[in-house]
Amino acid sequence: MPVKTLRFDVDGGKATAGPPIGPSLTPLGLNVLAVVEKINELTGEFRGMRVPVKVIVDTDTKNFDVEVGIPTVSALIAKEAQIEKGSGEPGRKSVANLSMDQIVRIARLKTPHMRVNSLKAAVKSVLGVCVSMGINVEGKSPKEVIREVEEGAYEELLKQ
């Protein structure tokens, strides 16, 4: 049972049978439209974001499985903040403000894919991305919020 794994980055809910998916799957004898429909079904909640997708194909039986990854932290932050991209001048110009609840939600979503030992570490990592994107948290600089997290200011939120 030879298995072939193909990886793609697709727009959430908007994959097409065109390149890169179609040309990669057609030689394997798969129904490309069925694969694209499955990808779109599984990535619909990430509409507007680039999503890593793995298509695992059994080349003998022509059966396939689709595994969906999680978008990048910066893409999740941009979606939460409802912005296209971060600030061109982070540190000087802020483009959005997020709540600590939103930061924790992103951290919980990404924790299994990060190399961290705790939710607290994941939150600090997400806050670090906020620094580089020019996103304030609770109306404060993310660096200030990182210090507060280290001092235990959000322990109740991190325990939920």
pLDDT at 160 over 90: no
pLDDT in tens, 102-114: 999 999 999 998 9
Q: What is the mean pLDDT of the chain?
A: 93
Average pLDDT estimate for 35-48:
93
pLDDT tops 60 at residue 1: no
For residue 17, the model assigns a pLDDT of 93
* Peptide bond preceding 112 in cis form (omega within 30 of 0): no
Answer yes or no: pTM beyond 0.95: no
| Integer Cα distance of 35 and 6 in angstroms | 12
Give the tens place of pLDDT for each residue, 3-15.
999 999 999 999 9
Domains of the chain: 3-68 (3.30.1550.10), 73-159 (1.10.10.250)
DSSP assignment of 82-116:
T-SS--SSTTT---EEE-HHHHHHHHHHHGGGSS-
Rounded mean pLDDT, 13-33: 93
